[in-house]
Amino acid sequence: DNRSVKDAASPQQVDYQKVYNAIADILEDENYDDGSYGPVLVRLAWHASGTYDKESGNGGSNGATMRFAPEANHGANAGLEHARNRLEIVKKKFPEITYSDLWTLAGVCAIQEMGGPYIPWRAGRKDGNVENCTPDGRLPDGDKGADHVRKIFYRMGFNDQEIVALSGAHALGRCHVDRSGFDGPWQYAPTTFSNEYYRLLEDEKWQERKWKGPPQFENKSDKSLMMLRTDMALMTDKGFRQYTDKYAKDENAFFSDFSKAFSKLIHLGVPTAQLSEPVPLKKIEDQAP
Ligand code: CCH
């Protein structure tokens, strides 16, 4: 219903490279987690977008409806207030950008600045109202298997190869007991984007962790890393495994496929007519000093 969607500033009025640089400026904080807000910003962009339902066409990043209580309080979104609050610093400097553009742009910035591939990004998302909130249950549960993962991601319009590529984002960040109930990082350098997730899935021995928390796996060698059941499915399910093998061996293939799949994710459900041409967003290291 377009009448309930506020008109945003025309996308041409915003200098997105400046916004990008302002986000890059607030990524690091030695007192937060592993020293970076990057991972939780990637999770925000993903959860804002991953509510998309291709049948009804609703959900997705257009709207930024996680600002409102029903969606902010969905169990899957626990902890994302850290990301949303951090981005308020940038929103104050650039009030003309919509939240929905800001959150997806922040995901792109975080991935690129943590060493990941360039991600094509278009501007033009409009912020919605509380009525545009999606129902709970559209995002995946970590304690389930391949069938659940397929059901959730097929609903967004992704195939097996894209599911495996997107999951490589778990190279970043960690699980927090007070957010999801799960605990720990997937790899040893959780603020560096790489194909480590696939390599460790295949090269480490994984066993069920014995603890009071929800079911998760730990690596036998030093028990400092974790995998969710949904992560393990990428190794145990034949349809997924071929791509896990490929990305474990070939980081360039992973970077290229991740870039396409993540770009698709953050534009799901946004009417094409609303979107700008792709906006070139340079990494800080590639900008003239
Ligand atoms: Fe994820 N993810 N994710 N994930 N995720 C969690 C954390 C991150 C699942 C469950 C969890 C994707 C797919 C899945 C990130 C990016 C992506 C956590 C811990 C759970 C649980 C949350 C906490 O406690 O803080 C499941 C299940 C699936 C699929 O089946 C996809 C796709 C992406 C992005 C492309 C990132 C990044 C994090 C780390 C967040 C942080 O705060 O460190």
pLDDT (0 to 100) of residue 2: 46
C-alpha 85 to ligand 1 mean position (Å): 19
- Using DSSP bridges, classify how beta strands 184-185 and 174-175 pair: parallel, antiparallel or unpaired: antiparallel
C-alpha 39 to ligand 1 mean position (Å): 9
Active-site residue, 47 included? yes
At residue 253, does pLDDT exceed 90? yes
pLDDT (0 to 100) of residue 10: 65
Mean pLDDT in residue range 32-45: 98
pLDDT (0 to 100) of residue 212: 97
Task: Name the residue with the closest Cα to ligand 1, atom 8.
Answer: 43
Residues with CB under 6 A from ligand 1: 39-40, 42-43, 46, 79, 140-142, 149, 166-167, 169-170, 172-176, 179-180, 182, 228, 230, 262
Query: At the top level of CATH, which class does the domain 146-255 belong to?
Result: mainly alpha
C-alpha 3 to ligand 1 mean position (Å): 33
User: Which of 175, 179, 236, 244 has most ligand 1 atoms within 8 Å of CB, for mutation?
Assistant: 175
**CATH 1.10.420.10 domain range(s) in the chain:** 146-255
User: Which of 43, 85, 232 has most ligand 1 atoms within 8 Å of CB, for mutation?
Assistant: 43
**CATH 1.10.520.10 domain range(s) in the chain:** 7-138+262-284
Active-site residue, 121 included? no
> Using CA atoms in the order 236, 237, 239, 242, what is the torsion angle rounded to 10 degrees?
-10
ipTM for the whole complex = 0.99
Give Cβ neighbours of residue 95 (< 8 Å, ≥ 6 apart): none
183-223: pLDDT as tens digits: 999 999 999 999 999 999 999 999 999 999 999 999 999 99
pLDDT grade for 3, boundaries at 50, 70 and 90 = very low
4-31: pLDDT as tens digits: 444 555 666 899 999 999 999 999 999 9
Asked whether the beta carbons of 142 and 167 are under 8 A apart, the reply is no
Distance, CA of 124 to CA of 102 (rounded, Å): 10
At residue 237, does pLDDT exceed 80? yes
Asked whether the beta carbons of 184 and 200 are under 8 A apart, the reply is no
Give the DSSP letter of residue 30.
T
100-159: pLDDT as tens digits: 999 999 999 999 999 999 999 999 999 999 999 999 999 999 999 999 999 999 999 999
52-67: pLDDT as tens digits: 999 999 999 999 999 9
Q: What are phi and psi of 77, to 5 degrees?
A: -95, 5
List the CATH code of the domain at 7-138+262-284. Answer: 1.10.520.10
Q: Answer left, alpha or beta for residue 137, where phi above 0 means left and psi between -120 and 50 means alpha.
A: left
Give the atom of ligand 1 at the shortest distance from the alpha carbon of 172: 37
> In this structure, what token pair is assigned to residue 153?
């991601």
C-alpha 194 to ligand 1 mean position (Å): 15
